[in-house]
Amino acid sequence: MFPVVVVHGGSGDIPKERSRQSTEGVCSAARAGYAVLRGGGSSMDAVVEVVSQLENNPAFNAGCGSVLNVKGEVEMDAIVMDGKTLGSGAVSAVCHIANPIQLARLVMDKTSHACLTSEGASLFARSMGVPEVPPESLITEYSRMRWRKNLAPGSNPVECQMGKMGTVGAVAVDGEGNMACATSTGGMLNKMEGRVGDTPCIGSGGYADNQLGAVSTTGHGEAIMKVTLARLILFYMEQGQSVEAASDSGLAYMKSRVGGLGGVVSVDPRGHWAARFSSLQMAWAAAQKDTVHYGLHTGEHFTQSIDDPL
Ligand code: ASP
């Protein structure tokens, strides 16, 4: 079994001028996660490192760079899950935190709860000494521009979701065979205040079980929740499908049953992995056996050595 980390940077339709940033972002995050695994770190350490790095990258819809709700504010959701214990931690609708994924991990490690929301999550963050950041520091010019465009009279909501992609997530298997997943998002563009998507919901935004595998999802949250996409894919794997076939089956079911599009990264206990999507694009990268694999469009699969410069 070779340790592996697989990363996504959100499913959707990415404008050309942002595709390079997305690909470079996921490759660099996959390398960071792989370095954690190579250094003997756990799969949980690796996925939290990957997602923290992408939350700090304004090109993605998570942490700094999150999309805005209808009021023009950031409200973020995140989840982690540990495949060894089935422990999980999540936060929803948080707005003063630079790295919601780290707060989600604290919920898992330091409380007996699975999810804390909004003000309660902020109170918990304060009690854990997590620094608060001004919410404006998470807002980029790009997200403000798209929010404005979407509010304009006569705006086309479909077109305005263009470039919406950017939710981030990762799955990993470490040298001990332990698996973990992590997912973080600013949610859907111009969502209602208080809207909580699939990301912090266990079995929807992610799931990890050492006996089955691990999955992190992205896509239309309301559709993902209807089919509990992450757990559905693991169910198909439990029934004997390969990690790739199960990922495709889950996405196909979501499309045919509820008309939802999305993408996933998945691993099985033997370190086989997949990055699959039904949307137009999904930036993804995987690192295993000192090789980085990556792609953006359907059918794309490039590789580089871990020793090559980015
Ligand atoms: N699943 C996220 C949500 O609905 C959005 C995304 O993955 O693009 O909040």
Residues 224-268 have pLDDT tens digits of 999 999 999 999 999 999 999 999 999 999 999 999 999 999 999
**85 tagged catalytic:** no
- Pull the structure tokens for residue 130: 């997590």
Residue 6 reports pLDDT greater than 70: yes
pLDDT at 18: 82
Residue 128 reports pLDDT greater than 80: yes
CA pair distance 218, 167, nearest whole angstrom: 6
- The per-residue pLDDT for range 173-191, each reduced to its tens digit, is 999 999 999 999 999 998 9
- Asked if residues 103 and 120 have their Cβ atoms less than 8 Å apart, the reply is no
- Pull the structure tokens for residue 281: 């694009």
- The per-residue pLDDT for range 65-101, each reduced to its tens digit, is 999 999 999 999 999 999 999 999 999 999 999 999 9
- Pull the structure tokens for residue 174: 């470490």
φ, ψ (nearest 5 deg) of residue 199: -50, -50
| Residue 173, H or E segment | strand 168-173
- The per-residue pLDDT for range 7-35, each reduced to its tens digit, is 999 998 888 888 899 999 999 999 999 99
Give the end-to-end CA distance of the chain in Å, rounded to a whole number.
26
SS3 call for 83: coil
Task: Show the ligand 1 pocket: residues with CB < 6 angstroms.
Answer: 10, 167, 185, 187-188, 197-199, 218-219, 221, 224
CATH architecture observed for domain 4-305: 4-Layer Sandwich (3.60)
Ligand 1 centre and the CA of 202: distance in Å? 14
CA pair distance 84, 178, nearest whole angstrom: 6
Provide the whole-model pTM: 0.97
Ligand 1 centre and the CA of 91: distance in Å? 14
Residue 284 reports pLDDT greater than 60: yes
pLDDT at 160: 53
**In ligand 1, which atom is closest to the CA atom of 219?**
7
The catalytic position among 167, 185, 199, 228 is: 167
Most distant CA pair in the chain, distance: 55
Residue 159 reports pLDDT greater than 60: no
Rounded to the nearest angstrom, the gap between the alpha carbon of residue 244 and the centroid of all alpha carbons in its chain is 18
φ, ψ (nearest 5 deg) of residue 58: -65, -5
- Pull the structure tokens for residue 280: 């137009």
CA pair distance 304, 310, nearest whole angstrom: 9
